[in-house]
A and B are shown apart, each in its own frame.
Chain A
């Protein structure tokens, strides 16, 4: 039996019985809410795999000149070993336009001369070069398109939701119209119009993807703003006499943007996939530009005898698959962490 003591109102005594939760340095720097998000993102094996995949692609994009030293003036041009039509298998010796030997080459392959590591495609384009430099193209198009569509979507969705009424009606009907237009057909038409004006480049396909890619974002942010608008703190801000624009940008949008951000992170994979599809159809970059869809499109004529030429489809195909998978896994993890309804379930 312990002796009774008079209450001292000294909470420090409690610490002996109930030690404080340890707060690590990372948590202190990030703040509790951000720390929870980061921790959640790095918790499941799937999201870690996603981050690893994306990390690898980022490294490839950054170190492309070291992995595959550029040949000629334009590094984005895939080097050609001659002009023959038939693809050559992996390990074929490289005869013309041979690039410099990078430092890792001998250690990894054990050879002194460049060979076509992943074979060549129709026209003797080196597939390895197409994949390495194509990573940069993928990131570039992915980010440009996602950022542009995100901005357009958020602006249109916010205006629509905030003003409501007839403005909302008109803007949302425009969204509906854009959604009914068949995307591939319009992209082909746009490319057909734009290519004679500005030549073959990334621009026509990028523009087509931007023009037909923003509707999803505007719908999602509109829905979220409509619900945030009803919350008490918005009324409280109005009672405090805060200006309309400030209420929209400081109080409403920061509370409504997360689902749209998740959608955008998922969107990068989709955009790269659609871009590859357009490239495969022949819209997009000039022939020989390092781009995964372009490399895949070289396989078009040989698709009937893939038993012999499997490497022209498999390597760019796998690359594309891993890239899209990485973004999707990360996007899923983000949704799980940021969606308050999923909180505490995993």
Chain B
């Protein structure tokens, strides 16, 4: 039995806005085992990032608030830790890479100083040790002339290089979990591929678990072991990556996969898209949040929100309709 690294149960996060309370994360439960890569997919505004930020208690409070749930990391609840304890977890044991490398680095600090910061903080290194380790880290993520480039400021780096620096920073203290929040979205395609390869290589070398948040189903297929599809603050489908691509069950997952361009598709056919926008939930929904956009919608969908239930080994879906046979549950 592989050890469970992170166990999140019934996580609920709300945001107070002038229009009312927004239910951003609604009872999300998932687990992450050691060395595993978990892909999290969904449209913008589905609660993917908020879920992960909630686990690290990085939600701005106010207006955000974690109202319920627990996140057990190595036997301790992250949500109940003292601020000093959680500070040591952040960066030290769980670290994060963000979407936009152009804004994630401090423009008035040299790369070397920024890399050294977590090292000196969590590993109590001297500035000399931190410098040497920084050079190692930069070489590890494939930046040439690492020793010289430590003196540079972020604006002297390209977007791809900055994302490499962010990854180096995130990995500097040998974290057990790396949360990658759309790390390739802001990069162009060739650099995306390089970054994905880099992360895969580092995962094999260092053996950390990864939570990879993305819109890009192609990237997920190439990197993840298991995939979680989120919609409206709920997990609506969860399966091993091969199972999900081979037997997608939820209409939303079907829609997402259907909207990928196919290489054999005839030219000039319009790309499939799911009509409408993800909802902003001002109260706990009593219907399935996907119902308004769903082509399979039944009467029951408007009356009750389906729960996540297993349909096959390791495959869970929250839907009233069995899209495989077309029968209602």
Let me know if A241 and B104 touch, CB within 8 A: no
Asked if A254 is at the interface of the complex by the 8 Å CB criterion, the answer is yes
| B98 and A236 form a contact (CB under 8 A) | yes
Given contacts A240-B90, A243-B87, A251-B106, contact A235 B98 (CB under 8 A): yes
A85 and B293 alpha carbons, distance in the complex (Å): 94
Q: B280 near A: Cβ within 8 Å? A: no
* Interface membership of A96, Cβ < 8 A: no
Which residues of chain B are near A238, meaning CB under 8 Å? 58, 90
Question: Interface residues of B, CB < 8 Å — how many?
Answer: 29
In Å, the complex CA distance between A263 and B108 comes to 20
> Are B109's CB and A239's CB within 8 A?
no
Interface residues of A in 226-258 (CB under 8 A from B): 231-233, 235-243, 250-251, 254-255
Q: Which residues of B contact A239 (CB under 8 A)?
A: 56, 58, 90-91, 95-96
Kindly identify, within residues 282 to 324 of chain A, every residue whose CB is under 8 Å from any CB belonging to chain B: none
Asked if B78 lies at the interface with its beta carbon under 8 angstroms from chain A, I say: no
A240 and B100 contact, Cβ closer than 8 Å, known pairs A255-B106, A255-B108: no
Chain B residues with CB under 8 Å of A254's CB are: 106, 108-109
Q: Smallest distance from the beta carbon of B86 to chain A beta carbons, Å?
A: 8
**Given A235-B58, A236-B98, A236-B166, A241 and B105 contact (CB-CB distance below 8 Å):** no
Using A232-B100, A254-B108, A255-B107 as known contacts, say yes or no to A241 and B89 having CB atoms under 8 A apart. Answer: yes
B103 pairs with A241, CB closer than 8 A: no
Please give, as numbers and ranges, the residues of chain A lying within 8 Å of B90 by CB-CB distance. Answer: 238-241
Question: Is B169 among interface residues, defined by CB-CB distance under 8 A?
Answer: yes
Q: Are A241 and B91 in contact (CB under 8 A)?
A: yes
Q: How far is the CB of B83 from chain A (nearest CB, A)?
A: 9
* Contact bitstring B64-106, A, C-beta under 8 A = 1, else 0: 0000000000000000000000011111100110101001111
Residue pair A242, B121 in contact (C-beta under 8 Å): yes
Least CB distance from B257 to A in Å reads 31
| Closest A residue, CB atoms, query B154 | A233
Q: List the B residue with the shortest CB-CB distance to A31.
A: B153
Docked Cα-Cα span, A165 to B155, in Å, equals 34
> Does A33 interact with chain B (Cβ within 8 Å)?
yes
Q: Are B121 and A33 in contact (CB under 8 A)?
A: no
**In the complex, chain B residues whose CB is within 8 Å of the CB of A236:** 96, 98, 104-105, 166, 169
Asked whether any CB of chain A lies closer than 8 Å to the CB of B122, the reply is yes
Q: Are A233 and B58 in contact (CB under 8 A)?
A: no
Chain B residues within 8 Å of A241, by CB:
87-92, 118, 121-122
How many Å from the CB of A338 to the closest CB on chain B? 12
Complex Cα distance, B15 from A172, in Å, reads 26
Cα of A232 to Cα of B107 in the assembled complex, Å: 11
CB B211 to nearest CB in A, in angstroms, measures: 13
CB-CB under 8 A for A240 and B98, given A232-B103, A254-B108, A255-B107: no
Closest to B98 in A: A232
A233 contacts across to B, CB distance below 8 A:
103-107
- B304 interfacial contact with A, CB 8 Å: no
Q: A251 vs B105: C-alpha distance in the bound complex, in angstroms? A: 10
Does B117 sit at the interface, judged by CB under 8 A?
A: yes
User: Nearest residue in B to A243 (C-beta to C-beta)?
Assistant: B87
- Interface 0/1 of A246-277, CB less than 8 Å to B: 00001100110000000000000000000000
User: B181 to nearest A CB, angstroms?
Assistant: 10
With A and B bound together, what is the CA distance between A106 and B277 in angstroms?
87
CB-CB < 8 A to B103: which residues of A? 231-233
Among residues 154 to 210 in chain B, which have CB atoms less than 8 Å away from a CB atom of chain A? 155-156, 166, 169
Report chain A residues within 8 Å CB of B107: 233, 255
Please give, as numbers and ranges, the residues of chain A lying within 8 Å of B58 by CB-CB distance.
235, 238-239
The CA-CA distance from A33 to B156 in the complex, in Å, is 10
**Cβ contacts under 8 Å, A240 to chain B:** 90-91, 95, 117-118, 121, 169
Using an 8 Å CB-CB cutoff, how does the interface string of B268-292 with A read, 1 for contact, 0 for none? 0000000000000000000000000
A contacts, CB < 8 Å to B: 32-33, 165, 231-233, 235-243, 250-251, 254-255
Taking A237-B117, A239-B95, A240-B95 as given, write out 7 further A-B residue pairs in contact, using a Cβ cutoff of 8 Å, ordered by the A residue number.
A233-B103, A236-B96, A241-B89, A241-B118, A242-B117, A242-B121, A251-B106
Q: Write 26 A-B pairs (CB below 8 A) sorted by A numbering.
A: A33-B153, A33-B155, A232-B98, A232-B103, A232-B104, A233-B106, A235-B58, A235-B98, A236-B98, A236-B104, A236-B169, A238-B58, A238-B90, A239-B58, A239-B91, A239-B96, A240-B90, A241-B87, A241-B88, A242-B91, A242-B121, A243-B87, A250-B109, A254-B108, A255-B106, A255-B107
